[in-house]
Amino acid sequence: MQGYILDVKKAKNEDCVVSLLTTEKIRILYRFYGARHPIVTTGYKIDFEVENDSVQFMPKLRNITHLGHPWLADLDRMRVWQNLVTLLYRHLKDIDLPGPFYFDLLERYASIWHLQNPKRAAVEAYLELLRHEGRLHLPDDCFACGGGLDDRCSLIRAFLPAHPHCVIAPKFRTEKIREAFEALSTIDLEDDEVEMLWLTMCEGL
């Protein structure tokens, strides 16, 4: 079975509890410590087996193989990837069966993660996620007061659009945000705009 490590929590004796996103669901598995075992790290894709032991309270994670990506040794890319995966973990952790969309999203973005600024890729992945969940709101009306937006808008958490005077949040040109949201692309956004979107995303998906 294959999955992405969403989260690793320490348990007793250096054992850990690992949350994995597979195509089917999120699996929470117990990992016994072993000096020669492969390291389990948030964001890694692994092949693994599940051992169901009737005595144990939690199924065990066994026979791990890392499935590498060429950018894993690039610390800056890896850090943004791990941030994205951790945001996804917090977003999904109470959902038993999130469906294949989220696994497929990580698969696609992992395969292109080395090609551009990873924060651009992360913002584009988030736009896809918002649209998939029916939460991507074009900048027409202000989320705070309901009035129509003008040529400038602000985006709060979940990229909800608002008047700049109604919220405390980064400001953007409304048309650029509209184009980015419609195309699910950051190609026409400047690096500083992408950075502001990334920081907004980091408040939680």
Near Zn ion by CB under 5 A, which window of 56-64, 69-77, 156-164, 177-185? 156-164
Binding mask 102-131 for Zn ion (x = CB under 5 A): ------------------------------
* Integer Cα distance of 63 and 84 in angstroms: 26
Examine residue 144 and tell whether it contacts Zn ion (CB under 5 A).
yes
Q: At what angle do helices 101-112 and 75-92 cross, to 10 degrees?
A: 170
Q: Is the Cβ of residue 118 or residue 139 nearer to Zn ion in the bound state?
A: 139
Q: Which residues have CB under 8 Å from 90's CB, separation 6+?
A: 204, 205
Q: Is the Cβ of residue 144 or residue 158 nearer to Zn ion in the bound state?
A: 144
Largest CA distance in the chain: 63
| Closest CB 143 distance from Zn ion, rounded Å | 8
Examine residue 142 and tell whether it contacts Zn ion (CB under 5 A).
yes
* Integer Cα distance of 4 and 186 in angstroms: 25
Q: Which residues have CB under 8 Å from 53's CB, separation 6+?
A: 59, 60
Q: Is the Cβ of residue 29 or residue 167 nearer to Zn ion in the bound state?
A: 167
Examine residue 140 and tell whether it contacts Zn ion (CB under 5 A).
no
Q: Is the Cβ of residue 69 or residue 163 nearer to Zn ion in the bound state?
A: 163
Strand order in the sheet with 152-156: 160-162, 152-156, 171-173
Which of residues 1, 112, 145, 183 is near Zn ion by CB under 5 A? 145
Near Zn ion by CB under 5 A, which window of 99-107, 109-117, 143-151, 171-179? 143-151
Q: Between the CA atoms of 205, 40, 120 and 137, what dihedral angle is there, to the nearest 10 degrees? A: -20
Binders in 159-178 for Zn ion, by CB under 5 A: 163, 166
Q: Report the residue number whose CB is nearest to Zn ion.
A: 142
What residue ranges bind Zn ion (CB under 5 A)?
142, 144-145, 163, 166
